Amino acid sequence: MFRLFLLFLALWCVAPAGFGQDPMFSQFYSAPLQLNAAFAGTSFAPRIALNYRNQWPAHNAPANAYVTYAASYDQAIERLNSGFGLMLLSDAAGDGILKTNQAVLAYSYRVRINRDMGLKFGIDAGLSQVALDWDRLIFLDQIDPLNGPVDPAGNPYPTQEVRPEELSKTWFDVGAGLLLYAPRFYVGLSAKHLTTPDQSFLGLNDNLQAGLPLRLSLHAGTELRFKTGNKRGWAAFVSPNVLLLRQGEFAQVNAGAYLGYGPVFAGTWYRHTLTNADAVIALVGFQKGIFKLGYSFDLTVSELTLPGSGGAHELSVLINFDKSEALQARRRASRYNDCFNMFR
């Protein structure tokens, strides 16, 4: 495992430059399959996750700069030491000028190292489609100094740009991941886009990096339990976490902590890119039975500024049947113990 960790750090440092980037949720723990396929089946019972993100809603143009939706389902098959999952994701950039849709299947296999420690191997595979609304693009040669991109009659000025033959592309993609966990900590490694698919509408260009760049992530956390829940009081724990992410020339570090106390939870994170501070993330939420609702806000601290961007709003809904009373009793009787409370 240590050698794999060193290999990952080497890849993270020398990952090739590229121009495509994946949408990412600030509440990464509420979209586990997007982070690492090895998270498939980390609950006894089925888990359904719904995610929504609206980034930079106050940006001057367009009105909806980046809007992302995701839905996932996963569950464990104990007799097979396996987990299965399905994730659907839709991302609209530039008020829908560029749309991306994904459907991904995930599988994980668990190896028990000892009574308390386990190792999960994960792989995901699926289809992605990207579509470009060419007619809504505005090029430099269309902008008139007096009238802007449209004439007085409201018709757009012509452009000399050549329209691509295809405005939609579909490709097959594969990812893989590892997850080492124990009662008090977890460490995960994941690699997305192992096939580095070509998503260009204009064809490969020798001056550009060919294909969607590899996305590498290292995520780790620990769990400190202050109180065990019982009939006399609520359970309480705090979970510090860190997420390192690199894709092409883009890299970021997220560090923060998640606090759970009975039905209420909250958290705060700080996100920094390679060149500048990006955002402070605040989270609040409530959990009742099998339902868990979380809201977070990304407070922009970069030069873009909060008034200019509007930050980012994110909403997550988790339906985890593992939280039912019957399965909670089953979990307490189980010999397996882990630190994935924040993911449930």
**For the chain, domain boundaries:** 2-343
Torsion of CA 334, 338, 341, 344, to 10 degrees: -70
Name the CATH topology of 2-343: Porin (2.40.160)
What pLDDT does 182 receive? 92
CB of 210 closer than 8 Å to CB of 198: yes
Provide the whole-model pTM.
0.86
What pLDDT does 62 receive? 52
Tokens of 116: 């308390």
What pLDDT does 21 receive? 73
User: What one-letter code names the amino acid at 60?
Assistant: N
Query: Which residue positions in the chain have pLDDT lower than 50?
Result: 1-19, 205-208, 335
What pLDDT does 80 receive? 92
Tokens of 111: 């190896």
Contacts of 286 (CB under 8 A, 6+ apart): 263, 264, 265, 292, 293
**CA 13 to CA 308: how far, in whole Å?**
32
CB of 244 closer than 8 Å to CB of 218: yes
CB of 25 closer than 8 Å to CB of 50: no
**CA 177 to CA 119: how far, in whole Å?**
11
Give CA angle at 206 (200, 212), nearest 5°: 35
User: What one-letter code names the amino acid at 2?
Assistant: F
Integer angstrom CA distances of residue 270 from 73, 102, 133, 304, 332: 28, 28, 35, 16, 34
Give the three-state DSSP class for 187: strand
Map tokens 């980390």 to a residue.
42
Contacts of 141 (CB under 8 A, 6+ apart): 157, 159, 160, 161
What pLDDT does 123 receive? 98
**CA 85 to CA 25: how far, in whole Å?**
18
Tokens of 131: 């579509």
**CA 260 to CA 237: how far, in whole Å?**
5
- CB neighbours of residue 332 within 10 Å: 8
Tokens of 170: 């579909």
What pLDDT does 305 receive? 65
Give the three-state DSSP class for 157: coil
CB of 100 closer than 8 Å to CB of 109: no
